[in-house]
Amino acid sequence: MTAYLEFKSVSKQFPGVKALDDVTFSVQSGEVHGLIGENGAGKSTLLKILSGAYFPSEGAVYINSQAMDFQGTKDALDAGVAIIYQELNLVPEMTVAENLLLGHFPRKKSGFIDFKTMKEIASKELSYILEEIDPDQKIKNLSIGQRQMIEIAKALLHNADIIAFDEPTSSLSDKETIRLFEIIKNLQKAGKAIIYVSHRMEEIFKICNTVTVFRDGKKIETFTDMSKVDHDILVSRMVGRDIKDVYSYRQREQGQTVLEVKDLMGPGLAKPASFSLKKGEILGFFGLVGAGRSELMRLIYGAEKHSGGAFYLDEEQMKINSPRSAIEKGMFFCPEDRKDEGIIPIRSVNENINISVRRHSMKAGLFLDKKKERETTDSFISKLQIKTPNRDKDVGSLSGGNQQKVILARWLAEDVKILIMDEPTRGIDVGTKNEIYQLMYQLTEEGKSIICVSSDLPEVMGVSDRLIVMRDGEIVTSFERDEFSEETILSKALPDKAEN
């Protein structure tokens, strides 16, 4: 069988970085080809080249043995390439049929849109994928999973022969995931060449025939026989060293209870939540998407108003009804969604760091102490090794890891008692991850306490002293570090089989 899609010695050079380095690999028709690798390994650059968004610096993409010269995403689309991204490109206020045919509306002779034909085409296309959706339904009324199916239908409508999925299950429910896998299997039978990018190892094993590992922009290895590989082999190829290095957990002293949350209720929680946090402790929170982890954190931080329950800080009851009130008590929050809730992208590193702490250093109660602010910024740039050309650079142009460091610096400039970190290392490379974990140990050794929320189980298991599991908006159970086991934690986090 000849390869349908081939990358031949493809490289992509950005100023100062080689994002892809001499990558050669191929995908056959009827193959599901998994791509795995750490963030920054080059997977997304590869997809962008395939989609026509980037032009390779060297080498070329071949489809059906023909070298492609994509000048833009439209050329790739015309050549039969469809990419299903994590972030979906649908217009929420338009109907399913309109979205499917956007840009290609059938017209009547008069020039007006032929709604009848449009609906027919849409229904026909949907019948392959997901019969129960009404083509007149608005996209905004569909679940994320259903929207993803619409994207796939759109790809099929454009006669795509090459379909690439970029982390397709990250926001899907279990049921929707099963559905998606069925569809992928059908596409495979229909002879499509499929690329499947995912961090989730178990999915790779479930649906891929072939898997290629990337690291630092290079192709490391392609495994064509999935029975000969296992989780550990893939991880060691991905990381290039022993995985235990990343967390390098260290035992630390812990003191008395600092924070006690009692019967907290609010939006996103199904049952009142209670737990306590000790001085010097790293308390992990684990749960699947929709388990209510982030919602609980937002309630604790006052970002969302709680409807019941109480907080005790050092055994004294306190009121928290806004982020500001939490901050005044020494409790700080690094949000999950750094770009939308953490940084102010167009403002400088200096301003992003000083936005909160400056209220302690105002001159005459009104004017900024710019000299002191610059000193604060400079000291954190060197202490946390924030990689930025200068302190006046806009934060939006820094890498994810450095943006996270800027947010950390913002809080470390304050007198921290409790730090809530929601997905502290999402989208951050291994090296920086390790730096952040080290910083977490160091902070707790100084007597601060940390709540670490993550959907990355190895991460919460790697760094936490204690772990609380959440499921469907309630706290299910908690584990001490010596009880940690991937299996038991996952089984607690997964919805009960009986309920499905």
Partner 1 sequence: MENTNAIKPVNPAVKVIRNLWENSGMLVIFILLFIILSIFVPYFFTWRNMIGLGLSVSMVGMVACTMLFCLASGDFDLSVENIVAFSGVTAAVVINATGSIFIGVLAGVLGGGLIGIINGTIIAKAGINALITTLGMAQIVRGMAFIVSGGSAVGITNMAFFNLGNGQFLGMPNPIWITIICFVVFGVLLNNTSYGKNTLAMGGNMEATRLAGVAVDKIKIMIFTIQGMMAGFAGVVLASRMTSGQPNTSIGFSLDVISACVLGGVSLSGGVAPIQGAIVGVLIMGTVQNAMNLMNIPTFYQYVVRGVILLIAVLIDRFKQTNTKN
* Residues at the contact surface with partner 1, assessed by CB under 8 A: 301, 303, 322-324, 326-327, 333, 335, 340-347, 351, 355-356, 358-359, 362, 366-368, 370, 410
Q: Which strands sit side by side in the sheet containing 58-63, from one edge to the other?
A: 17-28, 3-14, 58-63, 66-67
Shortest gap between Cβ of 324 and partner 1 (angstroms)?
A: 5
**Helix/strand/coil for 39:** coil
Shortest gap between Cβ of 471 and partner 1 (angstroms)?
A: 26
Q: Which two tokens stand for residue 90?
A: 């649908």
Q: Which two tokens stand for residue 207?
A: 């649906």
Q: Which is nearer to partner 1, 238 or 297 (CB)?
A: 297
Chain CA centroid to CA 151, Å: 20
Shortest gap between Cβ of 111 and partner 1 (angstroms)?
A: 31
Residue 243 is classified by DSSP as G
The C-alpha atoms of residue 379 and residue 253 are separated, in whole angstroms, by 28
Task: Name the packing angle between helices 370-383 and 400-412 (round to 10°).
Answer: 130
Query: Measuring CA to CA, which residue among 210, 219, 226, 196 is closest to residue 7?
Result: 219
Q: Which is nearer to partner 1, 341 or 378 (CB)?
A: 341
Q: Which is nearer to partner 1, 1 or 366 (CB)?
A: 366
Residue 348 is classified by DSSP as B
Backbone angles phi, psi at 272, to 5 degrees: -55, 140
Shortest gap between Cβ of 355 and partner 1 (angstroms)?
A: 5
Shortest gap between Cβ of 333 and partner 1 (angstroms)?
A: 6
Q: Which is nearer to partner 1, 340 or 496 (CB)?
A: 340
Shortest gap between Cβ of 398 and partner 1 (angstroms)?
A: 14
Q: Which is nearer to partner 1, 274 or 321 (CB)?
A: 321
Shortest gap between Cβ of 448 and partner 1 (angstroms)?
A: 18
The answer to whether residues 107 and 178 touch, using CB atoms and an 8 Å cutoff, is no
Residue 346 is classified by DSSP as T
Q: Which two tokens stand for residue 84?
A: 């299903």
Q: Which is nearer to partner 1, 124 or 359 (CB)?
A: 359
Q: Which two tokens stand for residue 274?
A: 């209670």
Task: Reduce the secondary structure of 400-454 to three states and give it as a string.
Answer: HHHHHHHHHHHHHCCCCCEEEEECCCCCCCHHHHHHHHHHHHHHHHCCCEEEEEE
Shortest gap between Cβ of 342 and partner 1 (angstroms)?
A: 6
Q: Which is nearer to partner 1, 91 or 346 (CB)?
A: 346
The answer to whether residues 281 and 449 touch, using CB atoms and an 8 Å cutoff, is yes
Q: Which is nearer to partner 1, 5 or 406 (CB)?
A: 406
